[in-house]
């Protein structure tokens, strides 16, 4: 019974030590014109496939720096007004990050604002 308790304590310690050193990869959109994606907390020198979805898929493959960061620009991606988009970055050593942006758009204009009433009254 003491052996089982000792193994359990060692395993719990090892798991908590591993969790403390585990990185959580992240992606952010640094700019939308041109559409620029920045990644951090990836494994050093990891090959990362970055997929941007805005109406269609756009793919870049980059290498993370020794610090685990990257920046890539999608010059063919353009956002119009209130457009949702998603970014997924997947590294070849297991790092993954995902970002989905669904902007809050203003409601459509009222029909009266689109079609003003006739200023000449009808008799």
Largest CA distance in the chain: 100
| Model pLDDT, residue 105 | 87
Homologous superfamily (CATH) of 20-104 is: Immunoglobulins (2.60.40.10)
Q: Is the pLDDT of residue 51 over 90?
A: yes
Looking at residues 8-13, what average pLDDT do you find? 46
Q: Is the pLDDT of residue 100 over 80?
A: yes
Looking at residues 63-75, what average pLDDT do you find? 98
Q: Sketch the domain layout of the chain as residue ranges.
A: 20-104
Q: Is the pLDDT of residue 13 over 50?
A: no
């Amino acid at each position: 019974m003491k052996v089982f308790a000792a193994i359990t304590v060692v395993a719990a310690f090892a798991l908590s030590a591993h969790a403390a050193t585990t990185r959580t990869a992240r992606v952010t959109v640094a700019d939308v014109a041109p559409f620029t994606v920045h990644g951090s907390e990836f494994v050093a020198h990891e090959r990362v496939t970055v997929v941007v979805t805005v109406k269609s898929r756009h793919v870049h493959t980059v290498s993370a720096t020794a610090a685990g960061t990257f920046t890539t620009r999608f010059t063919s991606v353009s956002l119009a007004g209130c457009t949702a988009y998603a970014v997924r970055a997947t590294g070849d050593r297991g790092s993954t990050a995902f970002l989905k942006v669904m902007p809050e758009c203003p409601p459509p204009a009222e029909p009266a604002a689109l079609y003003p009433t006739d200023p000449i009254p009808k008799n």
